[in-house]
Copies of this chain bind each other. A is one copy, B any other.
């Protein structure tokens, strides 16, 4: 059995599971439909090379079981679902049908990082019915950028930290709800050769932590996103060889420890303190994802006083479309 996604001239025309032997006719149809071009007659143009992309072994997101029976420690069932995903370019993600995940998972709030796209260039296909959408991009074209989908309209949405030096890269969106603040962040990567480690450790980390502390004074905080750090050795496949790599330097790990010491909880590690091999990012290089040579860089960080409301935190490692996979938090609020 193998999964195939077929797109012609960048338009996905089929996603399906093929069982060999039984499906030769089906495969022929699939190929014919692609070879003849997209359905719209106007686009035909006989004789032109039509380029199709086929991806094999991509699980169909609509067939994944996203149900969850998790409860709080005192037995209350979850009533709010949050998801977070670094999508590595919303335009590429959209072409790969990444947004079909939204309907399949159907979270109350979905946070996206690395949209790499200005608001007015965001493809229309990502407008999913039933969600309000909020987008933030920075000064640099095609770099960074975050987004937030919400079933319920937030009381207020704020962009950035309110600190100029941090707010040029479209990294933080804060949405205020009745009972909590939702914050999504795409934390600055220290970079190859660690050129931005100083900025990250000395400027960003303290200011971002202070920002969350400030919010936490008013309402409990649910913060999520790509924090660009694997906190402990258990959070990446190769801790030994990565002590000087962006995402696992002592400085970055310390920043995360500091954050947690200020009254916040890493919800995944809280629930699964011993779980190994739980990663949310795999480099595209060297087939890392297939070998699960990954990093846990994506988190739901919650205010300590939300611990009694915590039901579950799941890593959706079977969802493709980016070098990160989505993560989902279940809460009773």
Contacts from A to B (Cβ < 8 Å): 2, 4, 18, 20, 23-25, 27-28, 30-32, 34-37, 45-58, 287, 289-291, 320
Q: Which residues of B contact A55 (CB under 8 A)?
A: 49-52
Q: Closest CB-CB distance, A66 to chain B, in whole Å?
A: 19
Chain B CB count within 10 A is highest, among A25, A57, A290, for A57
Per CB-CB distance, the 8 closest pairs between chain A and chain B, nearest first, are A45-B287, A45-B290, A48-B290, A24-B28, A52-B54, A35-B56, A2-B35, A50-B56
Contacts of A52 in B (CB 8 A): 53-56
A18 touches B31 (CB 8 A): yes
Please indicate the chain B residues that have their CB under 8 angstroms from the CB of A20 in the complex.
28, 32
CA A113 to CA B290, docked complex, whole Å: 40
Instruction: Tell me the minimal C-beta distance from A260 to chain B in angstroms.
Output: 33
Q: Which residues of B contact A30 (CB under 8 A)?
A: 31
Instruction: Say whether, besides A25-B24, A27-B27, A28-B28, A4 and B49 are in contact (CB < 8 Å).
Output: no
Give Cα A289 to B46, complex, Å.
10
A–B complex contacts, Cβ < 8 Å, 27 sampled: A2-B35, A2-B36, A4-B31, A4-B35, A18-B31, A20-B28, A24-B25, A24-B28, A27-B28, A30-B31, A31-B31, A34-B54, A35-B56, A47-B57, A48-B289, A48-B290, A49-B55, A50-B56, A51-B53, A51-B54, A51-B55, A52-B53, A52-B55, A52-B56, A53-B53, A53-B54, A54-B54
A48, B4: Cβ atoms closer than 8 Å: no
Asked if residues B320 and A49 are in contact (CB atoms below 8 Å), the reply is yes
State A249–B62 Cα separation when bound (angstroms). 56
* A57 with B53, Cβ < 8 A, contacts A31-B18, A32-B20 known: no
- Say whether A18 contacts B35, CB under 8 Å: yes
Collect the chain B residues with CB atoms within 8 Å of residue A289's CB.
47-48
Contacts of A32 in B (CB 8 A): 20
Write the chain B residue with the least CB distance to A282: B48
Cβ distance A64 to chain B, nearest Cβ, rounded Å: 14
Contact A56 B34 (CB under 8 A): yes
B residues in contact with A51, CB < 8 Å: 53-55
Chain B hits for A46, CB < 8 A: 57, 290
Most B-side CB within 10 Å, residue of A28, A46, A290, A291: A28
In the complex, what residues of B have CB within 8 A of residue A57's CB? 35, 46-50
In the complex, chain B residues whose CB is within 8 Å of the CB of A31: 4, 18, 27, 30-31
- Of chain B, the residue at the smallest CB distance from A29 is B24
In the assembled complex, the Cα of A46 lies from the Cα of B51 at a distance in Å of: 25
Q: A18-B31, A52-B55, A56-B35 are in contact. Are A45 and B4 (CB under 8 A)?
A: no
Q: Which residue of chain B lies nearest to A20 when distances are taken between CB atoms in the complex? A: B32
